[in-house]
Amino acid sequence: MNETKISSAVIIGGGIFGISSAVHLQRHGVAVTLINDGPLANGASGRSLSWLNSARMRSNPYHLLRMAGIDRYRTLASRLGPVEWLSFKGGLTWDADDASNEIEAAFQHEVSLGYDARHLEPKEIAAVTPGLNPARVTPQGAIFNPGEGWVDLPSLVKFLAEEFKKAGGKLVTDQGSAKVVVENGRAVGAETIQGERFSVDAVLIATGAAVPKMAGELNQPIKDGTPIALLVATKPLQHPLEAVLNTPRVAVRPAPGGSFFIDADWAADEVETRDDGSYHVKQSTVDGLLAEASKILDGNPRLQVEWYRAGPKPIPGDGEPVVGVLPSVKNCHVAFSHSGATLGLIIGELTAYEMATGLRHPMLATFRPERFAA
């Protein structure tokens, strides 16, 4: 727990956790400097499928946190009205036709939580959500979750950055990486690789996949399960799909401007990491993703690639978020999690609450970094 309230903070990381925390800190009256090694959303936030959900099975605290995250998006949507970068048109998922199929168990679990879910036979899907090729749905059927949606994270980051700057926030970009400055066991600021130093009362590390390494340098272990991810964006086309699709071979969601965003674990596994840390994506991988997406879409449209991006997908080693102050360094906080889109607004809100007040929020009780100390 922090010992005192703060009046200034620096955030290292310009993705959704960083900018969301920055805006919420400002709402607490804290002066904020945000440092990023390049443009905002140049990391995982710029290549995320960004499905807003709490589908399937996970720990109850994690489910509740995700539901609070979705709630904040609904509040935002109510305030903004229709925008092309935030949508709640549901999500549809089905499993492979083999022993791994868990659709019935997942449906019963979601019902037990009061999570809005409908178990549909393939022939029922077209009447509930358009744009699917029902022939590709396995005989066990699919789960449709009407309350799910998607967000375009770069658009959200841009929207929040405008509020941040209007409220007097200082944005420092394109100066390379930064490190936490520690004196007498307390975080007192941050310093960029170019030597510019910012002295503040508290620091937040929100650097995505780099969080475990940076925390480790501060003597706080965080188990890391970060894989490489690949996201492909298609050229715009006219198509009726509105829901997010999560299927055995590919995930697809609509995107602003009539595009689709596509990813799959098998495709990410084919990405090659070069010795210099860059990534090589084979044309056959991209073509395979487009083909798999076309198969599940109504009319099997011809999909063309607009762009693709590969890079680390932040995932803690135990799959649960890592949020809160480091036991090893006073007033140094971290925010590291999968599901950055679903959690983006709520993690920023709760992290800012803890940093600004010195109190611990009960919703984050099981997600503390000290759980990895042993």
Question: What 3-state DSSP class applies to 314?
Answer: coil
Residues 275 and 322: their CA atoms lie apart, in Å, by 29
What's the CA angle centered on 243, arms 96 and 49, to 5 degrees?
75
The stretch 290-302 carries a mean pLDDT of 98
Q: What is the pLDDT of residue 3?
A: 42
Sheet arrangement for strand 251-255: 118-120, 142-145, 91-93, 244-246, 251-255, 259-263, 228-234, 305-312
Place of tokens 């000290």: 370
Task: To the nearest 10°, report the CA torsion of 144, 148, 152, 155.
Answer: 160
Q: What is the pLDDT of residue 4?
A: 53
Mean pLDDT for the chain? 96
Span(s) in the chain for CATH 3.30.9.10: 87-149+225-312
The stretch 244-248 carries a mean pLDDT of 98
Q: What is the pLDDT of residue 1?
A: 40
Tokens matching residue 93? 């998922």
Place of tokens 């409220």: 167
Domain 87-149+225-312 belongs to what topology? D-Amino Acid Oxidase; Chain A, domain 2 (3.30.9)
Give how far Cα 282 sits from Cα of 119, 149, 303, 308, Å: 37, 30, 17, 11
The stretch 185-194 carries a mean pLDDT of 96
Give how far Cα 334 sits from Cα of 22, 61, 172, 280, 369, Å: 13, 18, 19, 30, 8
8-46+154-222+318-372 belongs to CATH 3.90.25.10: no
Indicate if the pLDDT at residue 205 is higher than 80: yes
Model confidence at 99, pLDDT cuts 50, 70, 90, reads very high
pLDDT in tens, 122-179: 999 999 999 999 999 999 999 999 999 999 999 999 999 999 999 999 999 988 889 9
Question: What 3-state DSSP class applies to 244?
Answer: strand
Span(s) in the chain for CATH 3.50.50.60: 8-46+154-222+318-372
Q: What is the pLDDT of residue 2?
A: 40
The stretch 196-209 carries a mean pLDDT of 97
Indicate if the pLDDT at residue 37 is higher than 90: yes
Q: What is the pLDDT of residue 374?
A: 62
Model confidence at 373, pLDDT cuts 50, 70, 90, reads confident
pLDDT in tens, 256-283: 999 999 999 999 999 999 999 999 999 9
